[in-house]
């Protein structure tokens, strides 16, 4: 590991400021609902998006704006997804123009995002009326980043922030990110919303490649409820102010950047999974001994997606048969007669299955282990050298309550 965790998030890297205000999209005046991230210089930038055929208007506009590989700001709202609306593209474009006008930059250099209820018209007036305040409150301090993180929350119960420091080409490079997401999370690209900033110098082509790699090994390994959102987006902006020699091809510097970016994304992934709607526990499925990376990822994701397993973890029930069941229908190349399963937490570790068959174990110890709020489900396939991790949460009564009256 060639990086270390540091305090902060999207303003940790050189050149970035952030802010968040309550503009009025959300009825609750105590909740911020409009966030802004701004860089003093134009950045190389890239993003990955949801694979859902129903996509938000902000994604349409972002694809257009990021086609040249550059951006300088992010404007994002919560409380309304701006999805499936006849005027959605126009509203998303207006958000870019409002931010750009106040910041004195080009509207094509603005990344726009929305999250919230689908199919409701997004009022643009609150955004317009609050833009001056939003820009005036931009800050490079942690408070600005924290306010922005709060502004993109919907059913989240905690803000999700992460920052790390690494060395690339002899220069200190920082990366930081914020994300939101508690429900409708089964990404096939990134996450609900995630914005990462860095002061690394990297070309537009290589940052796009790095973003895809990081997403595949972090956000694409989360599942909370099996629903892929219409608004999923992970974007990364790089200011280049760290002073490292610009990364323009694969090699040692590129590998260091990808490692650091993946680390930020994995930390945010864990925080999202732990804060799943109604969740009481973070579940991490750690798979080793797979024939290929694809098989390792497929098994880990299948286990973490199992509603039966998630319910068992809520009840602290060491029902390892549900792990085997999920492996069996994963579609991966697995010899089920070689599979070992263990459960682990801060309370210890217990083996529950060897070579695809049950073994004697202490139900009392298993219960104690599974009562903790972070559980590792350890799967050894015994067939190769590849490994992977997937992130999820338990399935509780509150998940149904939250989503039963989400609009009301």
Going by C-beta distance under 8 Å and a sequence separation of 6 or more, which residues neighbour residue 144? Answer: 11, 17, 18, 19, 20, 137, 138
Going by C-beta distance under 8 Å and a sequence separation of 6 or more, which residues neighbour residue 324? Answer: 336, 339, 341, 353, 356
Classify 378 as helix, strand or coil: strand
Residue given tokens 């579609």 in the structure block: 331
Other CB atoms closer than 10 Å to residue 354's CB: what's the count?
14
Instruction: Show the tokens assigned to 296.
Output: 């390792």
Question: Which phi and psi angles does 321 have, rounded to 5°?
Answer: -60, -30
Other CB atoms closer than 10 Å to residue 7's CB: what's the count?
9
Distance of CA 23 to the CA centre of its chain: 25
Nearest to 168 by CA among 57, 55, 280, 247: 247
Other CB atoms closer than 10 Å to residue 214's CB: what's the count?
26
Helices (H) and strands (E) in the chain, counts: 11, 15
Question: Which phi and psi angles does 170 have, rounded to 5°?
Answer: 80, 0
Going by C-beta distance under 8 Å and a sequence separation of 6 or more, which residues neighbour residue 368? Answer: 347, 348
Alpha carbons 234 and 222: distance in angstroms, whole number: 14
Q: Are 177 and 195 in contact (CB under 8 A)?
A: yes
Nearest to 31 by CA among 77, 89, 90, 96: 77
Cα-based distances in Å from 336 to 286, 290, 330: 16, 12, 11
Structure-derived torsion over alpha carbons of residues 151, 154, 158, 160, reported in degrees to the nearest 10: -60
Instruction: Show the tokens assigned to 180.
Output: 């939101």
Catalytic residues: 191
């Amino acid at each position: 590991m060639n990086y270390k965790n540091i305090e902060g998030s999207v303003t940790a890297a050189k050149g970035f400021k952030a802010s968040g205000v309550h503009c009025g999209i959300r009825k609750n005046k105590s909740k911020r609902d409009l966030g802004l991230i701004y860089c003093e210089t134009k950045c190389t930038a890239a993003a990955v998006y949801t694979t859902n055929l129903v996509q938000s208007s902000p994604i349409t506009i972002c694809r257009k704006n990021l086609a040249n590989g550059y951006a300088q700001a992010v404007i994002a709202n919560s409380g309304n997804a701006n999805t499936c609306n006849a005027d959605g593209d126009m509203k998303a474009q207006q958000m870019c123009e409002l931010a750009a006008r106040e910041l004195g930059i080009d509207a094509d250099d603005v990344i726009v995002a929305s999250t919230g209820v689908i199919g409701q018209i997004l009022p643009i007036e609150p955004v317009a009326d609050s833009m001056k305040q939003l820009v005036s409150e931009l800050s490079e301090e942690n408070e600005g980043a924290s306010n922005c993180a709060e502004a993109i929350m919907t059913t989240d119960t905690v803000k999700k922030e992460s920052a790390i420091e690494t060395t690339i080409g002899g220069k200190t490079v920082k990366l930081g990110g914020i994300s939101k997401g508690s429900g409708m999370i089964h990404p096939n690209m990134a996450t609900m919303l995630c914005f990462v900033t860095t002061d690394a110098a990297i070309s537009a082509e290589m940052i796009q490649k790095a973003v895809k790699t990081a997403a595949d090994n972090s956000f694409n390994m989360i599942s909370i409820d099996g629903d892929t959102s219409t608004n999923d987006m992970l974007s990364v902006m790089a200011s280049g102010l760290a002073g490292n020699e610009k990364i323009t091809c694969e090699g040692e510097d590129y590998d260091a950047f990808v490692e650091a970016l993946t680390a930020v994304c994995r930390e945010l992934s864990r925080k999202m999974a732990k804060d799943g709607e109604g969740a009481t526990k973070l579940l991490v499925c750690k798979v080793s001994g797979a024939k290929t990376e694809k098989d390792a990822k497929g098994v880990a994701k299948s286990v973490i997606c199992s509603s039966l397993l998630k319910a068992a973890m809520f009840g602290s029930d060491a029902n390892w048969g549900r792990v085997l069941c999920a492996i069996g229908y994963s579609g991966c190349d697995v010899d089920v007669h070689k599979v070992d399963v263990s459960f682990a937490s801060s309370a210890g570790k217990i083996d529950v299955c060897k070579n695809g068959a049950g073994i004697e174990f202490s139900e009392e110890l298993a219960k104690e282990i599974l009562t903790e709020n972070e559980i590792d489900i350890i799967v050894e396939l015994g067939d190769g050298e590849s490994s992977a991790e997937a992130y999820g949460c338990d399935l509780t009564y509150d998940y149904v309550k939250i989503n039963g009256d989400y609009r009301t």
